[in-house]
């Protein structure tokens, strides 16, 4: 016999309350159950492991050519990454029953900040249409200690895939500053170094991980429990979704400061102490150029990465410090370049901004001096263009040429620009603006028997001032009225407004 609806609802509420108390004990009281909220959509089921249904047909040259359109320089890294991702995703698309099992080609980037490591990974992920997440390794600690758990990057990958577990299982996880988790000497547990490397071993190689963090799991469990009760199904343990990292491509990176010394020592020991003997002193950058092309796995182990960890990342490639010439090319050559973006922003207000070659070279040189790599380019562009971007949309200026002088002294260049409306403002807009302003002034004073005439010099001076006024006529009309009213106060039935009288009334 079916129970009355009210009785069924009462039992459901009791069950939910008991379940909520259980979750509160388990998760520290950070969760509460609200049964009136809509049911969350069930996450899409994960595809069977092994990549069935996934095809990949891109070739290394094709991937390299795409990277070449978006990334300047770093030829070795672009070729290496193109080869690695192609063979990785060919492996993912292979039939699961193939006799030869190919290992993952996880990648390690070696290079300083600002050389394009993140941009490379983002670009290749966009081409392949796979989810991508980046994590800073300094945030992680061993399980059981305060800090992020390494599995959290998988939860972020699921979010990046919009909950599609199959897509997440074929994504890219980029772990930056991996050199900061090199193992350290001394006593006690190394929770932020070797401990993190140990925690990453199975994740990098491939393991089943909960698709959601504890809070997300609790919400899903509540939904499952409520649905069971409402459907009259027998109680059962809620099933948690898993995602496999077996087909996730891991890319790690770091500056690895001091690695060149380890390589130098290895080569000196190999060659009987002759490497560099008697040579003139070299800079740190020259030393890195000399030795980092010859980095081997054993050098990274000597640096502090444990053999089990770096052994799971077989592809090593080096990114070089960007030169001034590289930075100059980055400004304009890639698709959707920085200069293209600024040009588009100015154009949205009807302003054509242009950069001559001397200006671009000056921007690149100043960015290089900041020693921040490509990141400094946008910072320098903001320093140069911020006043132009703020002031010009409220003026009649329609052309903004940026030259070396503008890079060196933006405020002075902006003042010069605003002071030459005949050259940089739209002449038709200026003419219309003045006709619309002059006519009412003349009519107003003619009604009182006063004739008003403007000389060409007066019009030019008022146009110069108008360039700094909004295209709303109120500011310019006020200037006209002020000038004529001051002159009319002297009496007479004829007023001639000259450049001199405009400056006398409004200030030079």
pLDDT: which is higher, 300 or 102: 300
Segment 145-168 shows an average pLDDT of: 86
Q: Does 160 score more than 90 pLDDT?
A: yes
Q: Write down the pLDDT at residue 61.
A: 96
pLDDT: which is higher, 206 or 487: 206
Q: Does 274 score more than 60 pLDDT?
A: no
**Entry pTM:** 0.74
CA proximity to 119, closest of 152, 168, 150, 74: 74
The average confidence (pLDDT) of the chain is 82
- For residues 338 and 404, give the distance between their C-alpha atoms in angstroms, rounded to a whole number: 18
Q: Does 47 score more than 50 pLDDT?
A: no
- For residues 139 and 141, give the distance between their C-alpha atoms in angstroms, rounded to a whole number: 7
- Among 111-115, 189-193, 250-254, 340-344, which is the least confidently predicted range? 189-193
- Among 6-10, 39-43, 147-151, 420-424, which is the least confidently predicted range? 39-43
Q: Write down the pLDDT at residue 46.
A: 47
Chain segment 119-130, per-residue pLDDT in tens: 999 999 999 999
Please identify which residue in the block is written with the tokens 């504890």.
Answer: 214
Q: Write down the pLDDT at residue 254.
A: 95
With beta carbons less than 8 A apart as the criterion, state whether 298 and 339 touch.
no
- Among 47-51, 200-204, 379-383, which is the least confidently predicted range? 47-51
pLDDT band at 142 (very low <50, low <70, confident <90, very high): low
Segment 411-422 shows an average pLDDT of: 87
pLDDT: which is higher, 77 or 6: 77
Q: Write down the pLDDT at residue 50.
A: 43
Tokens of 161: 């895939």
Q: Write down the pLDDT at residue 444.
A: 83
pLDDT: which is higher, 268 or 37: 268
Q: Does 278 score more than 80 pLDDT?
A: no
User: What Cα–Cα distance (Å) separates residue 119 from each residue in 49, 70, 122, 126?
Assistant: 29, 9, 5, 10
With beta carbons less than 8 A apart as the criterion, state whether 295 and 288 touch.
no
Q: How many CB atoms lie within 10 A of CB 333?
A: 13
- For residues 173 and 245, give the distance between their C-alpha atoms in angstroms, rounded to a whole number: 10
Q: Write down the pLDDT at residue 48.
A: 44
Q: Does 334 score more than 50 pLDDT?
A: yes
User: What Cα–Cα distance (Å) separates residue 465 from each residue in 438, 482, 500?
Assistant: 15, 14, 14
Segment 485-507 shows an average pLDDT of: 81
Segment 376-380 shows an average pLDDT of: 96
pLDDT: which is higher, 9 or 496: 496
- For residues 326 and 337, give the distance between their C-alpha atoms in angstroms, rounded to a whole number: 13
Segment 60-83 shows an average pLDDT of: 95
Q: Write down the pLDDT at residue 471.
A: 45
The three-class DSSP label of residue 489 is coil
Q: Does 306 score more than 90 pLDDT?
A: yes
Q: Estimate the share of the chain in helix, then strand, then coil, as percent rounded to the nearest 5.
A: 55, 10, 35
Strands 107-110 and 315-318: parallel
User: What Cα–Cα distance (Å) separates residue 155 from each residue in 138, 146, 363?
Assistant: 18, 18, 40
Q: Write down the pLDDT at residue 10.
A: 66
Q: Write down the pLDDT at residue 39.
A: 46
Segment 179-200 shows an average pLDDT of: 74
DSSP letters spanning 73-117: S-HHHHHHHHHHHHHHHHHHHS-TT-SS-PPP--EEEE--TTSSH
Q: Does 153 score more than 90 pLDDT?
A: yes
With beta carbons less than 8 A apart as the criterion, state whether 113 and 372 touch.
yes
Q: Does 195 score more than 90 pLDDT?
A: no
The angle at the Cα of 117, spanning 116 to 118, to the nearest 5 degrees, equals 95
Please identify which residue in the block is written with the tokens 């343990």.
Answer: 237
Q: Write down the pLDDT at residue 500.
A: 87
- Please tell me what DSSP assigns to residue 252: E
49: Cβ contacts below 8 Å, ≥ 6 apart: 96, 169, 244, 246, 247
pLDDT band at 76 (very low <50, low <70, confident <90, very high): very high
Q: What structural domains does the chain harbor?
A: 60-207+245-318 (3.40.50.300), 324-418 (1.10.8.60), 427-506 (1.10.8)
pLDDT: which is higher, 420 or 73: 73
Tokens of 322: 């960007």
Percentage, residues of the chain above pLDDT 70: 74
Q: Does 247 score more than 90 pLDDT?
A: yes
Q: Write down the pLDDT at residue 183.
A: 79
Segment 41-47 shows an average pLDDT of: 48
Chain segment 84-99, per-residue pLDDT in tens: 999 999 999 876 666 5
């Amino acid at each position: 016999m079916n129970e009355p609806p009210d009785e069924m609802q009462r039992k459901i509420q009791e069950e939910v309350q008991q379940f909520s108390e259980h979750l509160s004990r388990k998760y520290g009281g950070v969760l509460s159950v609200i049964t009136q909220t809509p049911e969350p959509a069930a996450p899409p089921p994960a595809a069977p492991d092994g990549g069935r249904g996934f095809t990949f047909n891109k070739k290394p040259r094709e991937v390299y050519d795409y990277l070449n359109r978006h990334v300047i320089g770093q030829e070795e890294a672009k070729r290496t990454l193109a080869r690695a991702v192609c063979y990785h995703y060919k492996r993912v698309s292979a039939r699961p029953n193939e006799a030869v099992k190919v290992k993952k080609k996880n990648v390690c980037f070696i290079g300083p900040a600002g050389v394009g490591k993140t941009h490379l990974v983002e670009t290749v992920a966009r081409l392949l249409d796979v989810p991508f997440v980046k994590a800073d390794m300094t945030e992680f600690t061993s399980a059981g200690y305060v800090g992020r758990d390494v599995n959290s990057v998988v939860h972020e990958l699921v979010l990046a895939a919009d909950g599609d577990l199959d897509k997440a299982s074929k994504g890219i996880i980029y772990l930056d500053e991996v050199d900061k988790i090199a193992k350290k000497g001394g006593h006690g547990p190394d929770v932020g170094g070797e401990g993190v490397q140990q925690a990453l071993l199975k994740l990098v190689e491939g393991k089943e991980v909960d698709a959601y963090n504890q809070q997300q799991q609790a919400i899903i469990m509540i939904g499952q429990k409520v649905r069971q009760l409402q459907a009259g199904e027998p109680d059962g343990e809620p099933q948690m979704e898993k995602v496999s990292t077996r087909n996730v491509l891991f890319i790690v990176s770091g500056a690895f400061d001091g690695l060149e010394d380890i390589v130098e020592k290895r080569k000196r020991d190999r060659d009987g102490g002759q490497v560099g003997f008697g040579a003139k002193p070299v800079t740190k950058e020259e030393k890195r150029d000399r030795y980092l092309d010859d980095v081997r796995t054993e050098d990274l182990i000597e640096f502090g990465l444990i053999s089990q960890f770096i052994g799971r990342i077989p592809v090593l490639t080096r990114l070089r410090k960007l030169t001034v010439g590289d930075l100059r090319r980055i400004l304009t050559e890639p698709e959707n370049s920085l200069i293209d973006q600024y040009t588009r922003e100015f154009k949205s207000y009807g302003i054509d901004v242009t950069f001559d070659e001397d200006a671009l070279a000056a921007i690149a040189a100043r960015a290089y001096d900041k020693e921040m790599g490509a990141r400094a380019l946008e910072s320098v562009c903001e320093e140069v263009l911020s006043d132009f971007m703020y002031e010009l949309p409220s003026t009649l200026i329609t052309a903004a040429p940026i030259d070396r002088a503008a890079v060196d002294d933006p405020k002075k260049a902006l003042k010069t620009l605003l002071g030459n409306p005949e050259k940089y403002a739209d002449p038709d807009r200026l003419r219309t603006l003045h006709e619309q302003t002059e006519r009412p002034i003349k009519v107003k004073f003619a009604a009182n028997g006063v004739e008003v005439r403007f000389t060409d010099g007066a019009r030019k001076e008022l146009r110069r001032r108008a360039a700094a006024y909004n295209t709303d006529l109120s500011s310019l009309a006020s200037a006209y009225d002020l000038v004529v009213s001051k002159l009319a106060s002297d009496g007479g039935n004829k007023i001639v407004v000259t450049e001199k009288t405009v400056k006398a009334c409004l200030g030079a």
